[in-house]
Amino acid sequence: MIHYILNLFLYFPEDKREYIPAAITSTLFLIAAILTMRLIIKISKRQEEKAKQFEEQLRKENIIQDEQ
């Protein structure tokens, strides 16, 4: 009985051309994931630079206020 149930989920086609759509889909999702990750890293670096500039601006303002 267990062997029959497992065979329902495992399907290895005789015609190997049936793997082509799955390979194409997997490749497209992999490329999309890589591009998304690169975009996230790029945006993160921009935000980091903005945060550093803002932090530097706050330090300068604090130094000016401390001198007064």
Over residues 7-64, the pLDDT tens digits come to: 777 777 888 898 899 999 999 999 999 999 999 999 999 999 999 999 999 988 887 7
Res 54: pLDDT: 95
| Gap between the Cα atoms of 64 and 37, Å rounded | 41
| Gap between the Cα atoms of 55 and 52, Å rounded | 5
Q: Is the pLDDT of residue 2 over 90?
A: no
**How far, rounded to the nearest angstrom, does the alpha carbon of residue 6 sit from its chain's CA centroid?**
33
User: Residue 45 is which amino acid?
Assistant: K
Please state whether the predicted TM-score (pTM) of the whole model is above 0.75: no
Among 32, 12, 15, 34, smallest CA distance to 24 is for: 32
19, 13 in Cβ contact below 8 A? yes
Q: Is the pLDDT of residue 4 over 80?
A: no
